[in-house]
Structure 1
Amino acid sequence: MRLVCAPQDFPFVEDGALNVILYGQPGIPEDGQSARGSAGQAAKADFLRKRFEAAPRAWDFLSIALSVVTADLAVRRADSPDGWTREIDLTIAVADAPFWRTQASTIESALKFLSTDRWRISFVDGGMQPAPPRDPARPDEDCVVLLSGGLDSLIGAIDLTTSGKRPLAVSHVVRGDGQNQESFAAAIGGGLQHLALNHNANPPGSTEDSQRARSLIFLAFGILAATSLAAYHDGGQVPLYVCENGFIALNPPLTGARLGSLSTRTAHPEFLNRIREVLAAARLRVPITNPYEHRTKGEMLKACGNQQLLASLASQSVSCGRYRRYNYHHCGRCVPCHIRRSAFLAWGQTDGTSYKFDELGRDDGDHANFDDVRSVAMAIAEVKADGLEAWLGAALSYPKIGDAAAHKYLIKRGLAELSALHHLFGVK
């Protein structure tokens, strides 16, 4: 599928392409025109309302991310020949097209790793660059932390403040998570300045549910915010903290049926390292850091710098991969719920989370077809029988993954936490 993503005043002339209005509304199609999509208007307005001034290439990076997330929604996997892999051809209007053309292949590779689709990206002039505010606000925070409403980002924000950092909390607003994001920001470090943005990507027609490329928009919001801080305008670096336990970041395929993008790769080191290369080439002084790349979720809980605050908020956080499907309730059986529950067990604190399916070991009609429970059990059994190396196979064989030995040891410890959970519930 072909998409052309550009501001309202761009001369859309692509026959057969989906035209996407960036930072505006699609309006009512004129005679002979097909329906248009849109993305980013609210994010731009909310950011500028604070009188923040971001780097020009940070705005271009946001335009790229908005285009990608809209395409990820618009192109349905069910319509592809194999029912999963999509062909996505994107034309994106940016302010500095000559530079971004030098990065097209790197971005395509990063997106292919993220979603296992085939991406073709081209850049044209005409992208949006807002005029600098007359009286810009320059926040004095020294870093940015992504605050999702989940348990890992909660721990990350707490740890940053207890270590003496002053983070600006940036959230991507998702229905069901907004209240947590606000309450966590208010509770941590005496109250964090909080920037909550939403991509509002809205393609016409039915949309794709898998959303494997959405992590790019999280990073884009964080980068935009980081370049607005006083420290950045003074010529310094502003770290962007993406806090995710290393096991879920690597998300090793539990069985052969969960290969590739069938498991999410939001904070996978291979993906983050590819994006780091793009930011370095763009001279955006925003180093992306995951302080928990080599820690399990249980280890994160046990080492958190403010145990009292964490204990008061942890059960309020959201981890479930099917949270909205179960009416904003943790299912208790998906892989993220598994990892959450095993982490609480390793922590040794009471898990106050309410799970729809609490008893993982039950074998009856209500608890049949627990595919994720079986997948975890099969992984544990295979590692016990054949060893970690045989089970992992080529899961760590990526050129930019980093320290493979450290990742391997982390996976071993993460599986041990999951094994303890299954033993507790008598999963067979």
Structure 2
Amino acid sequence: MQRVVLFDTGKPGRDIHAGADVMRQVKRYGMVVDAMAWDFVAIALAAFAADSHSLRSDSPDGWTREFELTVAVQFPNVWNELAEELARTLAFLSTDRWNFRFVPGGNTPPVPRKPVKPELDAAVLLSGGLDSLIGALDLAADGKALLAVSKLVRGDAEHQREYAERICKSHRVFNDSTTTLRRAESSQRTRSLVFISFGVLSATSLACYHRQQRATLYLCENGFIAINPPLTELRLGSLSTRTAHPVFLAGVARVLARSGIHVDIENPYRHQTKGEMLAACQDQETLAKLATGSTSCGRFLKFGYRHCGRCVPCQVRRASILAWGRVEDDTVYVHDKLGLNDEENAGFDDVRAMAMATVAAKADFGRWLGNALGSPDVPDRPALRHMLGRGIDELTALHRELGVL
């Protein structure tokens, strides 16, 4: 059993802790937030702390772990009724086994001395990535006054601030400030839930929410990465994040609805490829200036705040900019020439798997797709199937351009 302190730092060297910065930032911004949403943040932080502290390499199969979490919250009766739903949702997100028990005694949200209830239309997650940039530009072009919500990530903070200042009316930046007692697990799939919980909490601070109206949180991600289809039969979808997967978002939506948190999470781009997002963006002038400065790489920190150029998100990014055709991709890629026949380039697993996927999809798309859209929680299967086909077309064009195929 391991103790985790939430919204405080606990005792250094003895306690895992998470969320101390969240408490400080909510006070600083003068946010008036929904108490149930505060519990939701506590649950997300507890799951993330456990995820970070537990190495997958220590599990029997080298990946799947089992978690038993007891979390102190303000409304334990409500959350105990939702424990199984939470466990299923997190199991899909992280491919682990989860069990929750909720007890009284959770922290209450701070009461600001000068309450701020922004008269804005919606909240939007702003990560510093290309998709969230396009989403904010489109929403602003539609006339929406936006509250940008960011989770502090080293290397992206400058982009987050720049995009928020250019596009949004207000900006909230949170740091989960999670500290473990050992080397942290690198996969950290539950970080997605933490980011969403920050967005939900911020959406409940909007003036419309306090007028008993529903609030909207926009999570903008292209449909190909959201579905994250396994590239080959030997690869699992959990090799990449499932932040915007419709099954995961449907689970979160059920949790929010049953807990009485009146926030809708919307991804307007679930039927679009990344290239289509770029081409259809309503503010092409601003996008052309900012696009290649955004961050997409799954190994950005590992490569010294540079794009590796060969991970799946980098390949999707490169394919989308090529398909867009409006600007030259001047992103600095550590591995730029993927077509070279050596271990550092075309022999890299993600490049090889993507090349195999493009060939397999062309030969028999249905067989390649397999059960990627099989869950009953996946809506609009025909539209998603067609979108995935167009995404494969973009990636095929990239591999031909680079001499991989």
> Which TM-score applies when normalising by structure 2?
0.98
Q: How does 1:28-39 map to 2 (within 5 A)?
A: 28=12, 35-39=14-18
- 2:136 equivalent to 1:163: no
Distance 1:130 1:363 in 2: 56
Which of 260, 273, 278 matches 2:250? 273
Following the alignment from structure 1 to structure 2, what is the Cα–Cα distance between the partners of residues 129 and 367? Answer: 51
CA distance in 2 between counterparts of 1:391 and 1:420 reads 18
Matching residue of 2:84: 105
Partner of 1:259: 236
Q: Which residue of 2 aligns with 1:221?
A: 198
Which ranges of 4 or more aligned residues in structure 1 deviate by more than 3 Å? none
Shift of the 365–51 alpha-carbon distance from structure 1 to 2, 3 Å rule, reads closer
| 1:304-345 C-alpha deviation (Å, 9 max, x unpaired) | 010000000001100001111110100111100110000001
Segments of 5+ residues of structure 2 without an aligned counterpart are none
Residue in 2 that maps onto 1:145? 124
How many pairs are equivalent?
404
Q: Secondary structure at the match of 1:359?
A: coil
Alignment match, 1:27: 11
Q: Write the letter of the residue equivalent to 1:318.
A: T
Contact 2:345–2:351 (Cα < 8 Å) also in 1: no
Rounded to whole Å, the distance in 1 between the matches of 2:342 and 2:147 is 48
In the aligned structure 2, how far is the partner of 1:152 from the partner of 1:59? 27
Does structure 1 retain, via aligned residues, the 8 Å contact 2:230–2:236? yes
Structure 1 segment 226-237 matched on structure 2, within 5 A: 226-237=203-214
Q: What do residues 87-110 of structure 1 show as CA deviations (whole Å, max 9, x unaligned)? A: 111110100000000100000000
Give 2:23's aligned residue: 44
Cα distance in 1 for residues equivalent to 2:128 and 2:113? 34
Task: Kindly provide the CA deviation profile for residues 249-279 of structure 1, in whole angstroms up to 9, marking residues without a partner as x.
Answer: 0000001222142232111000000100011
What TM-score, normalized to structure 1? 0.93
Alignment-derived partner of residue 34 in structure 2: 55
What 5-or-longer segments of structure 1 have no aligned partner?
A: 1-16, 30-34
The answer on whether the counterparts of 1:253 and 1:263 sit within 8 Å (CA) in structure 2 is no
Q: Which residue of 2 aligns with 1:12?
A: none
2:387 is the alignment partner of 1:410: yes
Q: Which residue number corresponds to residue 360 of structure 2?
A: 382
Contact 2:23 2:110 in 1 (8 A): no
Name the counterpart of 1:291: 268
Preserved contact between residue 114 and residue 266 of structure 1 (Cα < 8 Å) = yes
Letter in 1 for 2:118: P
Deviations 1:54-102 (A, max 9, x none): 0010000000000011011011100000000001111101000000001
User: Which is further off, 201-210 or 313-322?
Assistant: 201-210
CA contact (8 A) 1:20 1:203 kept: no
- Post-superposition shift, 1:131? 4.4
Q: For 1:22 and 1:366, locate their aligned partners in 2 and report how far apart those are by CA, in whole Å.
A: 42
Match of 2:226 among 249, 255, 276: 249
Q: Are 1:342 and 1:421, in contact at CA under 8 Å, matched by a contact in 2?
A: yes
Aligned sequence identity (%): 50
* Structure 1 range deviating more: 171-180 or 260-269: 260-269
Aligned to 1:360: 338
Cα RMSD (Å):
1.1
